[in-house]
């Protein structure tokens, strides 16, 4: 690989993470954006094609400085520390790929990530979710659908993209469990409670179509360009509007999205004694650090333990 160029190796790396690592096309596109920008920034003053051996600590320093000063719009907005981390994670992954292939370049361990603040997780308590459900008119097909969607999101902890891709044939309402394919094309089991299963059953009972999608858009303006029935499948944006509608109707002032219900699912499990490894598996997180954003909910329990045992021994 003596004569390999960085631009060619980036394309080989993108194919590697798609085919051999099973990353989603969305992830591949993001990595392509991040690494292309790295190449453009670092090669702008070169009079030749960049080689991997030219990537050194000084180039990395200048790249990080450019990222930190990069203006994303005409108002001078800059990349957040979190977004800069995405760029650097992609670069580190690329360098690890080069190292595994024995291609001389910068040591991946030298790519440190910027310090970021842990995001504040917004979640709903059970009574807030119940308030949303109480606002739904169950005398209509749309109402039955919306109730089933909200209960399924909270009961199963699905991502909105996973929910939108569900077909009727995917759901086993008797066993109250099924499998979804999440990020990285990884399958994981989803378990739902009796109430969610009953609401899905109620909704399907009033459907008079044979379309495969579990949840349909009821708008009469929907085109019929596709023959497989997906022209009426609900989109993530549609689900967001549904959640927002009932949030406002219930008088909830928090910013609530479909992902908030996923947060609520995880938080509810931890509050009721589930261990974090089990929650990690049910959410489909590949890394436990991602799940640890929910450990704030254990703080009250720690306080109770401190008050009980520390007081008794002093």
pLDDT digits over 156-182, tens only? 999 999 999 999 999 999 999 999 887
Measure the CA–CA gap between 230 and 225, rounded to whole angstroms. 9
Q: Indicate the average pLDDT of the chain.
A: 86
Q: How confident is the model at residue 304 (pLDDT cuts 50, 70, 90)?
A: low
Q: Does residue 62 carry a catalytic annotation?
A: no
Q: Which residues pair with 181 in a beta bridge?
A: 187
Report the candidate in 127, 153, 151, 128 with the shortest Cα–Cα distance to residue 138.
Answer: 151
117 classed as catalytic: no
Looking from the CA of 197 toward its CB, the CA atoms found within 13 Å total 14
What tokens appear for 17 in the block? 């993470």
Clarify whether 186 is annotated catalytic.
no
Active site residue 294: yes
Question: Contact at 8 Å (CB) between 108 and 52?
Answer: no
Catalytic residue among 64, 183, 207, 296: 183
Parse the chain into domains and list their residue ranges.
Answer: 6-110, 126-302
pLDDT band for 227, please (50, 70, 90 cuts). Answer: very low
Marked catalytic residue, from 101, 201, 259, 296: 259
Write down the catalytic residue from 145, 159, 199, 233: 159
Pick the CATH number of 6-110 from 3.30.390, 3.40.720, 1.10.150, 1.20.1260: 1.10.150
Task: Give the mean model confidence (pLDDT) for residues 261-265.
Answer: 92
- The phi and psi torsions of 176 (rounded to 5 degrees) equal 60, 45
Q: C-alpha dihedral over 39, 18, 29, 121, to 10 degrees?
A: -110
Work out the average pLDDT over 13-42: 91
Does residue 146 contact residue 258 with C-beta atoms inside 8 Å?
no
Q: Which of 51, 233, 262, 263 is catalytic?
A: 262
Reported as a single tens digit per residue, the pLDDT across 99-129 is 999 999 999 999 988 776 666 778 998 899 9
pLDDT over 50 (residue 141) = yes
What architecture is domain 126-302?
Orthogonal Bundle (1.10)
Q: Is residue 262 among the annotated active site residues? A: yes
Q: Which residue out of 16, 176, 233, 285 is catalytically annotated?
A: 285
Taking Cα atoms as reference points, which of 229, 203, 98, 211 lies closest to residue 151? 203
Catalytic status, residue 183: yes
Cα–Cα distance for residue pair 216/41, rounded to 1 Å:
45
Sorting pLDDT into bands at 50, 70 and 90, what band is 183? confident
pLDDT over threshold 90, residue 83: no
Tokens of 217: 């858009």
Grade residue 289 by pLDDT with cuts at 50, 70 and 90.
confident
Which pTM value belongs to this model? 0.64
Helix (H, G, I), strand (E, B) or coil at 197: helix
């Amino acid at each position: 690989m003596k004569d390999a160029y960085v631009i060619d190796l980036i394309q080989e790396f993108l194919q590697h993470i798609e085919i051999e690592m099973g990353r989603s096309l969305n992830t591949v596109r993001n990595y392509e954006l991040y690494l292309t920008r790295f190449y453009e920034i670092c090669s702008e003053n070169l009079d030749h094609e960049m080689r991997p051996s030219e990537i050194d600590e000084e180039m990395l320093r200048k790249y990080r400085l450019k990222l930190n000063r990069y203006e994303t719009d005409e108002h001078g907005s800059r990349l957040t520390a979190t977004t800069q981390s995405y760029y650097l994670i992609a670069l580190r992954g690329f360098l690890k790929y080069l190292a595994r292939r024995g291609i001389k370049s910068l040591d991946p361990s030298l790519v440190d990530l910027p310090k970021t603040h842990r995001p504040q997780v917004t979640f709903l308590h059970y009574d807030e979710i119940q308030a949303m459900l109480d606002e739904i008119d169950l005398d209509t097909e749309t109402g039955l659908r919306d109730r089933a969607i909200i209960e399924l999101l909270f009961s199963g902890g699905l991502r909105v993209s996973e929910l939108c891709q569900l077909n009727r044939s995917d759901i086993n309402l008797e066993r109250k469990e099924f499998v979804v394919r999440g990020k990285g094309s990884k399958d994981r089991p989803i378990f739902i409670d009796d109430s969610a299963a009953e609401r899905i059953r109620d909704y399907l009972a009033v459907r008079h179509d044979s379309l495969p999608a579990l949840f349909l858009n009821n708008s009469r303006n929907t085109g019929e360009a596709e023959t497989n029935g997906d022209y009426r499948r609900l989109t993530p944006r549609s689900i967001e509007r549904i959640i927002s509608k009932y949030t406002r109707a219930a008088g909830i002032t928090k910013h609530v999205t479909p992902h908030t219900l996923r947060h609520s699912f995880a938080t509810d499990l931890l509050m009721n004694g589930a261990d974090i490894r089990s929650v990690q598996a049910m959410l489909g997180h590949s890394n436990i650090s991602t799940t640890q954003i929910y450990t704030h909910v254990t703080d009250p329990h720690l306080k109770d333990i401190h008050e009980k045992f520390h007081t008794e021994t002093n």
